[in-house]
A and B are shown apart, each in its own frame.
Chain A
Amino acid sequence: MSKQGGVQYSKIAEIKGPLVVVDDVTNAAFDELVEIQTTDGEKRLGKVLEVGNGKAIVQVFEGTTGLSVAGTRAKFVGKVMELPVSDQLLGRVFDGLGRPKDGLPDPIADKFLDINGEPMNPEQRDYPNDFIQTGVSVIDGMLTLVRGQKLPIFSGSGMSHNILAAQIARQASVVGTKDEFAVVFAAIGVQYSESEYFRRSLEESGALKRSVLFLNLADDPAIERIITPRVALTTAEYLAYDLGMHVLVILTDMTNYAEALREISAAREEVPGRKGYPGYLYTDLSTIYERAGRLKGRKGSVTQMPILTMPSDDITHPIPDLTGYITEGQIVLGRDLFRQGIYPPVNILMSLSRIMKDGIGEGSTRADHQEVSNQNYDAYSRAQEVRALAGIVGKGGLTGVDLKYLEFGDDFEKKFLSQDLDENRTIDETLALQWNAVSLLPKNELTKVKDKYIEQYYKER
Chain B
Amino acid sequence: MTSDSKLESTIDKILNQTEIENLSSLKKSFEESLEILTKSQSSLEEDYDRIIDEGKKEAEKIEKQLIGSSDLESRNKQILLVEDSIKKVFEKAIEKIRSSIHNDNYPKLMESLLEESINALGTSDVIISTNSKDKEVVQGLLSKFSGAELSTDSIDCLGGVEVKSMDGSMTFTNTIDSKIDRMKPLIRKDIATKFGIGS
Contacts and interface: CB of A to CB of B under 8 A. Distances in A.
Nearest to B195: A108
Interface stretch (B32-40, B75-83, B129-137): B75-83
Nearest to B84: A105
A104 B77 CA distance: 9
A110 B188 CA distance: 10
Contacts of B197: 88, 108
A91 interface: yes
A22 to B, nearest CB: 10
Contacts of B189: 108-110
Nearest to A206: B68
A104 B65 contact: no
Given A3-B182, A3-B183, A204 B169 contact: no
Interface stretch (A6-14, A157-165, A182-190, A253-261): A6-14
Contacts of A10: 168-171
Contact of A7 (B72, B80, B121): B121
Interface string A1-26: 10111111111000000000001101
A237 B19 CA distance: 85
A11 to B, nearest CB: 5
A67 B83 CA distance: 34
A427 to B, nearest CB: 15
Interface string B46-68: 00000000000100010011111
A27 interface: yes
Given A1-B186, A91-B72, A109-B185, A206 B65 contact: yes
Contacts of A127: none
A201 to B, nearest CB: 12
A203 interface: yes
Contact of B172 (A7, A24, A207): A7
A439 interface: no
Contacts of B79: 88, 104-105, 107
B83 A208 contact: no
Nearest to A209: B68
A38 B179 CA distance: 21
A453 interface: no
User: How many residues of A sit at the interface, in one of the four size bands?
Assistant: 35 or more
Question: Dominant SS at the B interface?
Answer: helix
Residue among A7, A8, A24 facing the most chain B CB atoms (10 A cut-off): A7
Contacts of B188: 106, 108-109
A420 to B, nearest CB: 12
Contacts of A3: 182-183
Contact of A424 (B57, B122, B171): B57
B174 A206 contact: no
A265 interface: no
A378 B198 CA distance: 53
Interface string A192-224: 000000000001111111100000000000000
A108 to B, nearest CB: 4
B191 to A, nearest CB: 9
B174 A8 contact: no
Contacts of A246: none
B120 interface: yes
B61 A205 contact: yes
Given A1-B185, A104-B80, A108-B188, A7 B69 contact: no
Contacts of B120: 4, 6-7, 27
B178 interface: yes
A86 interface: yes
Given A108-B198, A204-B65, A205-B65, A8 B80 contact: no
Given A8-B170, A104-B80, A209 B57 contact: no
Residue of A73, A84, A209 with most chain B CB atoms under a 10 A cut-off: A209
Interface string B102-128: 000000000000000000111000000
A13 B72 CA distance: 48
Nearest to B71: A209
B192 interface: yes
Contacts of A424: 57, 61
Interface string B164-178: 000011111110001
Contacts of B66: 206
A106 B170 contact: no
21 contacts: A7-B121, A7-B170, A9-B170, A10-B170, A11-B169, A26-B122, A27-B122, A84-B185, A91-B72, A91-B75, A106-B185, A108-B197, A109-B185, A110-B189, A204-B65, A205-B61, A205-B64, A206-B66, A206-B69, A209-B72, A424-B57
Q: Which 7 A-B pairs have the closest CB atoms?
A: A206-B68, A206-B65, A209-B68, A8-B171, A105-B83, A206-B64, A108-B192
Interface of B: 57, 61, 64-69, 71-72, 75-76, 79-80, 82-83, 120-122, 168-174, 178-179, 182-183, 185-186, 188-189, 192, 197-199
Interface of A: 1, 3-11, 23-24, 26-27, 73, 84, 86, 88, 91, 104-110, 112, 203-210, 422, 424
Given A5-B182, A7-B121, 9 more contacts: A7-B120, A8-B171, A91-B72, A91-B76, A109-B186, A207-B64, A208-B68, A209-B69, A424-B57
